[in-house]
């Protein structure tokens, strides 16, 4: 399907935007020491885990399940980060 074709590209683009945003906020943005900073770091850790598992994932159903669970955790981390 079309989504399956663009899925890796969208993941890499999302990661690039997240890392750019994180770098700008840490070094050029306001100095945050509240929960928003820590929730952003947690969401970024989930993103890195999703990227690494997605990169190394073969046809294993268990790896696919872990990839989806971590993607769900990433979405929850993003929602918490935006909501704070």
Q: What is the pLDDT of residue 58?
A: 76
Q: What is the pLDDT of residue 1?
A: 82
Q: What is the pLDDT of residue 4?
A: 83
Q: What is the pLDDT of residue 27?
A: 84
Q: What is the pLDDT of residue 45?
A: 94
The DSSP-derived string for 5-24 is: HHHHHHHHHHHHHHHHHHHH
The residues of the chain scoring below 50 in pLDDT are: none
Q: What is the pLDDT of residue 57?
A: 82
Q: Report how far residue 69's alpha carbon sits from residue 84's, in angstroms, rounded to the nearest whole number.
A: 23
Q: What is the pLDDT of residue 35?
A: 82
Q: What is the CB-side half-sphere exposure of residue 48 using CA atoms within 13 A?
A: 7
């Amino acid at each position: 399907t079309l989504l399956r074709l663009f899925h890796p590209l969208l993941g890499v683009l999302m990661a690039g935007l997240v890392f750019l945003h994180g770098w700008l906020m840490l070094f050029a943005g306001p100095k945050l020491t509240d929960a928003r900073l820590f929730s952003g770091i947690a969401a970024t850790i989930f993103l890195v885990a999703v990227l690494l598992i997605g990169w190394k994932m073969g046809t294993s159903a268990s790896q696919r399940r872990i990839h989806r669970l971590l993607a769900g955790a990433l979405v929850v981390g993003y929602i918490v980060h935006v909501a704070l």
